[in-house]
Amino acid sequence: MTVLFACLAAFIAAVIQRITGLGFVLVLLGPIVLLYGPLEGVTIGVLLALVASMTAVPLVWRDVEWRRAWWLIWPGLLAAPFGAMLVAALPEAALLILIAAMAYFALVAGWIPLLAASLRGKTGAIVAGSAAGFMHVASGLSGPPLAAYAVGDKWEQRRFAASVQVIFVVLSAVSVALRGLPASPAGDVWLLVAATALGIAIGTLLSRFVPARIARIGMLSIAWAGATVVLVRGIVTLFA
């Protein structure tokens, strides 16, 4: 039953990712952490994020801006090991609270004008890329600093949405390498991979009919609920 709920969450997250360009881990994080725990849940999440992005890249290949993407990728590669070190050092309760905090940051980052305004040019790319690499390994949530940089540097939305899929592929691959593969049964993992790929395919079809605004509302609703439940679980675990 656990894997069925996880497959449903992965499918919905992938559909939303394909329609909006972002939000896969943000939607998936709450359910997957509650079902599998903070360590295994995020490990599964970053693997599925790799699958989602690899499935999406061929669909947006022509719009990728490789040079701008590279200036976000290489700082992320340098910062990623520090995220892995933090995860290895934290107990379960602290890890749950950290994941919830990063999820909340992901949800409110777009409402902080000074954040986007400070992330411009190559310096802004280095800061945003470093934050993205660290956060991706720690929680899978690398989207907020990348999106803030896109706003601050006035990156055209269509090209950013395409380029960020390449960035997600690289950061997800590095995260999988640093965190290792999930400890769950291989059959369950393959079911989750299939649900993610199916979600991207269905999302591609639905993107012609479902407004991005509607998908974004659904994404935010699920993400807020998931982050709150993870936070509560972390607090309960801390005092248990």
Q: What is the pLDDT of residues 85-142, one digit of tens each?
A: 988 888 888 888 888 888 887 777 666 666 656 677 888 889 889 988 998 998 888 8
Question: Could you give the angle at which helices 38-60 and 24-36 cross, rounded to 10 degrees?
Answer: 150
How far apart, in whole angstroms, are the C-alpha atoms of residue 128 and residue 130? Answer: 5
Cβ atoms of 38 and 95 within 8 Å: the answer is: yes
Whether the Cβ atoms of residue 196 and residue 14 lie closer than 8 Å to each other: yes
Residue pair 122/239 in contact (Cβ under 8 Å)? The answer is: no
Rounded to 5 degrees, what angle do the CA atoms 173, 141, 62 make? 60
pTM for this predicted structure: 0.86
pLDDT band at residue 170 using 50, 70 and 90 as cut-offs? very high
Mean pLDDT to the nearest integer, 139-153: 80
Q: Tally the domains of the chain.
A: 1
In this structure, what token pair is assigned to residue 108? 């409110």
- Average pLDDT of span 170-190: 93
Amino acid 31 reads: P
Percent of the chain with pLDDT over 70: 95
More confident residue, 126 or 211: 126
Residue 6: is its pLDDT beyond 90?
Answer: yes
The parent domain of residue 93 ranges over 2-239
Check residue 157 and give its pLDDT.
77
